[in-house]
Amino acid sequence: MPPLRTLMAIPVFLALLLAPVTAGSASSTEATNPFLSQFVTKGGVPAAALLDRDGDDVHFAAAGRGITRADHFRAGSITKTFIATVVLQLAAEHRLSLSDPVDRYLPGLLRGHGTDGRRITLRALLSHTGGLADFTTVTRGAVPVTPLQAVGISLSLPSTRLGRYSYSSTDYVVLGMVIQRVTGHSYAAEARRRIIIPLRLTGTSFPGARTSLPAPHGRAYTADGADVTELDPRVAGAAGELVTTLDDLDRFYAALLSGELLPSRWLREMLNTRAAHGAYGLGIFPVKLPCGTTVWGHNGRIAGSYVRSAASIGGRHVLTFRVNTTAIRDPDLEPALLAAEFCPRHG
């Protein structure tokens, strides 16, 4: 899920800078506590929470009811950064090449409606420039599907132009299939072995068909208030299956951006946005904030949950925030929060 309106929320940002801060408050997270409550009052969400790590300083803040730091929640398209990391690790091990066509691994899978897997490379899937239509435009993230069903839905829709950036969850469903073909293991098993276990992400899992969340967890709601805490993760698969926690996502993005998960050459590949004309790297995207700082990360939306992780290059400063509903009513709140956390304050 690419940036929403994640660039210039300057009026809200300036209002935040001018807001009074409690005497003696030194941390950026403490300063944004009053602002976080706007996700409830202006954004229309039941509850919001954030976890900010800046070096050795770690700060948690929450607004609304029924949300805690330890909660497990669905992370939606943040799953894509995990999948991309696995693919890049396989490339670093010379088990695949990003310039390989999909047909090399999944012969004949991508055929129809202007789509040809002999011309679509793995890099194009990673950067959303392969032209595959997004299957979720039909399923609306509410219908569980197998990977083959997701691809079939995609192929029944008009493709976009090869080489043009067009965000599509189908790309990462196919990459999940490639991982299995190359390794002999599911994308979930490879992500556990390569990322979750080494980083000790004890709250992170790929639940498969399990509809319940691990304890502890709060409730999850659609925009109209329906309770969707129970959800079949196969509505998203390799494009959005992940269940995780605030602490684990901060740890993951800090490790990724610091080079702990990828050799430097392959981290540079991940952060290369040329294929998507600056909009997206490989499973991660940049946002340039009003102060000129650029942060890297991803967002994720799935029924009952919206999540955003962002980190500085090097991974020293990383922020994850979440709300326990599908959508935020005011789209200016997210960029303003990122600016408040990552832009230096003066005076």
Residue pair 326/96 in contact (Cβ under 8 Å)? The answer is no
> What type of residue is 148?
L
DSSP secondary structure code for residue 24 in this structure: T
What gap in Å lies between CA 222 and CA 238, rounded to an integer? Answer: 22
Q: Residue 202: helix, strand or coil by DSSP?
A: coil
Structure tokens at 243: 């269940």
Closest among 231, 123, 209 to 174, alpha carbons compared: 123
What gap in Å lies between CA 53 and CA 254, rounded to an integer? Answer: 9
What gap in Å lies between CA 104 and CA 198, rounded to an integer? Answer: 30
Structure tokens at 194: 């390569």
What gap in Å lies between CA 252 and CA 249, rounded to an integer? Answer: 5
Residue pair 150/237 in contact (Cβ under 8 Å)? The answer is yes
What gap in Å lies between CA 186 and CA 253, rounded to an integer? Answer: 22
Catalytic residue from among 25, 28, 37, 77: 77
What gap in Å lies between CA 173 and CA 180, rounded to an integer? Answer: 11
Whether 159 is catalytic is no
Active site residues: 77
